[in-house]
Amino acid sequence: MNSYFSLRDYIFVALMASVMVIVGYLTVPLVIHIPIPGIRSLVSAPFMAVFFALALARVEKVGTATLIAVLMAIVYSMISIILAAMIVIGGVAADMVIGVVFRSYRTAASRVVAGAIYFGGHVFIGILLGTLFIGGDYARTLIRPWPIAGMTLVVVALAVLGVWAGNRLVVELRRAGKFPQLK
Amino acid sequence: MLRVDNISYEYSGTGSKVLDQANLELKQGEIVLLSGPTGSGKSTMALLAAGILQRHGQGLCHGSITLGGRDVTSIIPRDLARELGILFQNVDLQLFHDRVTEDIAFGPENLGFSPESVSICLERELSRFDLCSYRDREISTLSGGYRQRVAMAGMIAMGQGYLILDEPLAFLDRSAGQSLVNLLGQIKQRIGVLLIEHRTDLVKAVADRVLHLSNGEVLPGSPPASANNFFCYGPGGPEVMRAQEASYRFPKYEVSVLKGCTLTLRQGISHVLLGDNGCGKTTLLKVLAGLINPLMGSVELVASKSKGKGPFQGVGLVLQNPDHQLFMPTVAEEVQTFARQKSLAGQLLEELHLDPFAARHPQSLSRGQKRRLALAAILAQRPRVLLLDEPTVGQDPESLKLMLIALHRFVSEGGCLLSATHDYHAGRALGQVVWHMGDGRILEQGGSELVKRYFSEF
Amino acid sequence: MWVREVHPLVKILAAALLTAVGVLLRRPGSLAILVIIVLFLGWQGGLRPSRRMGVGIVIMLLSFGLVNMAFGTQPMDILRNLLRLAVLFLTGPVFTLTVSPRKLVQSLRRSPLPDGLNIALLVIWRFIPVLLREARQIQEAARLRGLRLVPGQLRLAFRSVVMPLCFQSVSFADHITVALEVRGFSLQHSPSIMPGPGIRWEDILFMILTVFLPLAVLVGERILCFG
């Protein structure tokens, strides 16, 4: 039975996921003690999004975001199951939207939308986590539309910036002959 | 038999053939040495023989390659892996497990060997490659030579009849290289080995046949010897840099990499640092560049304006892997961005024959071109001291000649050069003042006679 | 250090369950029992945090405690929140640090996960250290060119790290794909797997401590609440 993803696809996604894990490893410890919901996504999203975009651009198939998410979730399950669940939800949501609207990740626009959904989705869980650990007025303040929307918008903007940089990188990779040309 | 019939190959977008009607035969039980300068098509031949370029490449291929009478392109990769193996230069990208036994067993497991057969293959190869005492070791703790053994054992454990080795000596020093050559002599009884190597002095003795690539064709014998580059240097000027009893140990390691190194670099002199892999050459260069601070002793750049920690201003270091240093979108920008003068940037591009590629992406260049580009980018900054880490690895003779001319001019104009190398030709060409380094220490100092003596021991 | 011998998949499932129970528990006393279980298992697994790590954990807990106070949370609620934080953020690392990636990957290969996913995970575990090393060498190269993360150099500094890292990882991906094919790996044919160990006493003891005991605590708490 032929696999939906080729070996090349799996390995490319694995390498990009590895770099994303390294980015998280280097950036998140700087802010992990700061009790602002979504702060971890804030610092890691713009850099992770670059390699997220590269993986989508190379594989192009719907399902790639979920594959990235599942791989990272298995790695992050060793830190926090909730974090792992958050990542998978983001990946599945991105694939569902792209599958319906764009049908593949060939275009730069599809990758931008996917990045916005994937990283933006993390903020919700981040806020929920925050309210689990900090109650009182903090929780009452946060579980409202504006704080959630505000933080989500900021993370989405940073992620979009990262995907945009990733899309520029794809052009350079094609110029250097390291990425297949668009047919 | 592995048979290459009239193979021609042209990489996409280059307009010229790397291989042109090349022919080759390999039988089981023999070692065939295929040599030739870098860029002559040796690796291309290896990748074609293993069917890799035909599957993954985008170039134009004519001719045929057969294994046991069957075209390699008609055999699915998994079945081809049962008969033919290939070991690339960078062995680390071919090792997939942490432990020696698990990695050796990986291939047989993928081929569906039964657990009992896997165990038998494993024990056989551990014994053959003298790895029994390393069976439970983590591969990351092994030296380069032993990691290569593990990779070879992992190939042969799959029961292959043919093995292609692509420049296995590239990252090995003399003793590890000799060890590998001895091993080849032992395994060749039932395996055909195509050994692709340009450092032929070590491997000729074990080869049954010697071939070389010239203008895309396979010809018998060794390639013609390339002309040695000899330069004359001046008497030199005042001291530029001093290291006094510099010692360094990496965090979490007990053993020091540098153990009290003392040396002096002078203006207008070309210095060479000789030594085997792991003796501390690269670490010493990084200490001299100011990238890492010695734990004991000192390093001083005379009349330096550098303050605080961090690399010394006025010292340039060209690293072993130029891919780490190239990041601009075009070749021209790579040199111009940090150049002291734009005219100097243009001059260097011309001198190093990089001007035809000025608008190209640096990552689209060949290995030799990238190394020249990395050198040009550093020279454009007009450093007082230039440090080179293994400048000749992967260099074709033409590329090497261009680099040596540029370096000679740098030294003649008052620059101070220090090259760390285990290449004889570079040592002879650049060795005005020579240090022999071993086990983290400077063992002796000399001139070109030290270079001859160091390499004549092997 | 019997905890290290526990099956990695048992640990992952136990971590998931402990996390879920930690979210559901409401009483500080119940959460404290969970924290003690996790710390005990870490101790049994040979984990001894460094001073730096200990200081880091204390700072994190203090930060959350102070924020709670600033937002007017009641003392018992503060305690409950901090204990819940401890459960959720200690469970994963404690269980992770007592299992080797190698054993984890071996266990996953024996699971019903697709071969492609298994090989991708193997590649991740194997090549994260390689990529980290590359990233460090790339950072060194950037420092040698005099690039810093300061205003005026941000774009170049970012480029000097991201570009080479990107090209190296793309190049590695191609090489690794070919290397896997050369080692006979194929998505169409499952590899033979060496037989693994069965259920052992370490697994049973671990499950008692991490599954049955926390569930008993949860049930007990609910009974006390409703009783």
Instruction: Write out chain C's pLDDT in tens, 227 residues.
Output: 777 778 777 887 888 788 888 888 888 898 999 899 888 888 888 878 778 778 877 887 888 788 778 777 788 888 888 888 888 778 877 777 777 666 777 777 777 788 899 899 889 988 988 898 899 899 999 988 888 777 777 888 888 988 999 999 999 999 999 999 999 999 988 888 766 666 778 888 888 888 888 888 888 888 877 54
Average pLDDT (B31-58) is 87
- Say how far apart CA B55 and CA B102 lie, in whole Å: 28
8 Å CB contact of B291 and C138? no
Contact criterion met (CB below 8 Å) for B386 and B316: yes
Residue of B nearest to A175 (CA): B361
- Listed in order, strand segments (DSSP E) in B94-191 are 162-166
**pLDDT value at A78 more than 80:** no
Mutate: best of C178, C180, C187, partner B, most B CBs <10 A? C178
Looking at residue A167, what is its pLDDT? 95
Six-digit token string for A2: 């032929």
What pTM was estimated for this model as a whole? 0.87
**pLDDT value at B207 more than 60:** yes
- Predicted confidence (pLDDT) per residue in B137-167, tens digit: 888 888 888 888 899 999 999 999 999 998 8
Q: Which of A11, A70, A78 comes nearest C177 by C-beta?
A: A11
Looking at residue A166, what is its pLDDT? 95
Within an 8 Å CB–CB cutoff, is residue B310 touching chain C?
yes
- Say how far apart CA A35 and CA A141 lie, in whole Å: 14
* DSSP secondary structure letter of residue B226: P
Mutate: best of A8, A15, A44, partner C, most C CBs <10 A? A15
Question: How many other CB atoms are there within 10 angstroms of residue B85's CB atom?
Answer: 28
Looking at residue A37, what is its pLDDT? 64
Q: Chain centroid to CA B56: how far?
A: 24
- Say how far apart CA A63 and CA A96 lie, in whole Å: 8
Looking at residue B311, what is its pLDDT? 83
- Predicted confidence (pLDDT) per residue in B425-444, tens digit: 788 888 899 999 988 999 99
Q: Which residues of chain B have a CB within 8 Å of the CB of C101? A: 98
- Say how far apart CA B375 and CA B380 lie, in whole Å: 9
Average pLDDT (B198-206) is 77
Residue of B nearest to A168 (CA): B329
Question: How many other CB atoms are there within 10 angstroms of residue B244's CB atom?
Answer: 15
Q: Which of B93, B310, B324 comes nearest C176 by C-beta?
A: B93
Six-digit token string for B381: 């900054």
**pLDDT value at B227 more than 60:** no
Q: Chain centroid to CA B292: how far?
A: 24
- Say how far apart CA B282 and CA B261 lie, in whole Å: 13
Average pLDDT (B157-179) is 83
8 Å CB contact of B97 and C185? no
- Say how far apart CA B137 and CA B154 lie, in whole Å: 15
Say whether B395 sits in a helix, a strand or coil: coil
Q: Which residues of chain A have a CB within 8 Å of the CB of C185? A: 7
8 Å CB contact of A133 and C81? yes
Q: Which residues of chain A have a CB within 8 Å of the CB of B329? A: 172, 175
* Matching residue, tokens 């003793």: B175
Average pLDDT (A125-154) is 72
HSE (side-chain half, CA atoms, 13 Å) at B263: 26
Say whether B23 sits in a helix, a strand or coil: strand
Within an 8 Å CB–CB cutoff, is residue C191 touching chain B?
yes
8 Å CB contact of A177 and B364? yes
Domain ranges of chain C: 1-103+196-227, 111-187
Distance from the first to the final alpha carbon of chain B: 34
**pLDDT value at A137 more than 70:** no
**pLDDT value at A1 more than 60:** no
Contact criterion met (CB below 8 Å) for B159 and B121: yes
Contact criterion met (CB below 8 Å) for A54 and A13: no
Q: State ipTM.
A: 0.87
Query: Which H/E stretch holds residue B397?
Result: helix B397-412
**pLDDT value at B43 more than 60:** yes
Q: Which of C16, C71, C127 comes nearest A15 by C-beta?
A: C127
Six-digit token string for B395: 């260099």
Q: Which of C71, C91, C173 comes nearest A11 by C-beta?
A: C173
Q: Which residue has the higher pLDDT, B184 or B25?
A: B25
Q: Which of C142, C186, C192 comes nearest B77 by C-beta?
A: C186
**pLDDT value at A59 more than 90:** yes
Within an 8 Å CB–CB cutoff, is residue B363 touching chain A?
yes
Q: Chain centroid to CA B414: how far?
A: 30
Measured CA to CA in angstroms, residue B49 lies from B34, B45, B66, C155 at distances of: 13, 6, 8, 44
Looking at residue A24, what is its pLDDT? 84
8 Å CB contact of C191 and B85? no
Q: Which residues of chain A have a CB within 8 Å of the CB of B361? A: 172, 175-177
Six-digit token string for B454: 């160091």
Domains detected in chain A: 7-175 (1.10.1760)
Q: Which residues of chain C have a CB within 8 Å of the CB of B55? A: 181
Contact criterion met (CB below 8 Å) for B11 and B59: yes
- Say how far apart CA A133 and CA C82 lie, in whole Å: 6
8 Å CB contact of A138 and C127? no
For chain B positions 105-134, those within 8 Å of chain C (CB to CB) are 105-115, 118
pLDDT-above-90 percentage for chain A: 50
Distance from CA of A71 to the nearest CA of C (A): 7
Q: Which residues of chain C have a CB within 8 Å of the CB of A52? A: none
* DSSP secondary structure letter of residue C212: I
Residue of B nearest to C123 (CA): B96
Looking at residue B267, what is its pLDDT? 92
Contact criterion met (CB below 8 Å) for B311 and C144: yes
8 Å CB contact of A172 and C177? no
